[in-house]
Structures are given as C-alpha cells and as structure tokens.
C-alpha cells in the first residue's frame, strides 16, 4: 500500500512539473528538490541526497533562465530606447519580435527536408559516407 501511495505522489509531482513548463520561469529549488527527493527515495532510499541534487539543479536552471532574460532585455533596450517594463516583459517582447523561444537566444529556424546542397537529386536509398 505504501508503494502505491508513493508512486501516486510521484506521478502527481511529475505531472505538476510537466504542466509548469509553460510557466514563465522554470521550477526552482522546491520543485526540483521534491522531484529529486522522490527519485532518490526510489533509488535505494537516498531521498536527502536526491533532494539536495534536485535543489541545486533547480537553482542553476532558474539562474541560467534569468541570466538569459536579462541579456534579452538588454538587447531589447538597445533596439527600443526608453521602453518601460520589467526585464521579464522585455525578454518576452524580444522573443516575440525575433521569433525566439525562452531558453534560446537564436531565432527558431525550421528548415524543411531539402535535398543536398549541390543541387543534384539523390535516389531514396543513396547515402554518403
């Protein structure tokens, strides 16, 4: 019975973490620490070690996200001098204008499956080694 309850709680926590991915910031110490504690508990009862590792990972991930958002806000300020708002709002505006996604500084470039660059069409089964 205890394993079923633990597995149910782990499933709920994993679902919560998955739905929070759409939020503005990634989860921090509490969310990643809780997931790490469950993972550590499942891995031979190392819940405290898992919680500490999850907390450190969450803090690092949030730090990197905020650092990138401040960089995007600085770029937005260069393009739009005198603009007002928080750095999160400016980073979002930068993402919208430049077709970037949160977590990447480069624009989204989805290239269709084009043929080789040489301009010659290849048969379907041909491969270059």
Neighbours of 28 (CB within 10 A): 17
Q: What is the pTM of this model?
A: 0.58
Residue-wise pLDDT tens digits, 77-89: 998 888 888 888 8
Residue 86 covered by a domain: yes
Residue-wise pLDDT tens digits, 98-127: 877 776 777 665 545 544 555 555 555 555
Residue 117 covered by a domain: no
Residue 37 covered by a domain: yes
Structure tokens at 94: 């930068």
| 22, pLDDT greater than 50 | no
pLDDT mean across residues, the chain: 77
Backbone angles phi, psi at 45, to 5 degrees: 60, 50
Which residue range forms the structural domain that includes residue 82?
A: 25-95
Residue 65 covered by a domain: yes
Residue 14 covered by a domain: no
Number of structural domains in the chain: 1
């Amino acid at each position: 019975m205890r394993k079923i309850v633990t597995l149910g709680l782990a499933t709920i926590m994993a679902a919560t973490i998955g739905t929070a991915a759409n939020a503005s910031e990634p989860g921090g110490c509490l969310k990643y620490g809780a997931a790490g504690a469950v993972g550590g508990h499942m891995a031979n009862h190392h819940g405290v070690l898992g919680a500490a590792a999850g907390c450190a990972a969450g803090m690092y991930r949030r730090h990197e996200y905020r650092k990138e958002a401040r960089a995007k806000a600085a770029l937005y300020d260069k393009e739009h001098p005198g603009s007002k708002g928080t750095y999160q709002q400016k980073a979002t505006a930068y993402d919208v204008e430049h077709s970037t996604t949160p977590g990447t500084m480069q624009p989204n470039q989805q290239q269709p499956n084009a043929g080789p660059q040489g301009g010659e069409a290849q048969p379907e089964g041909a491969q270059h080694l």
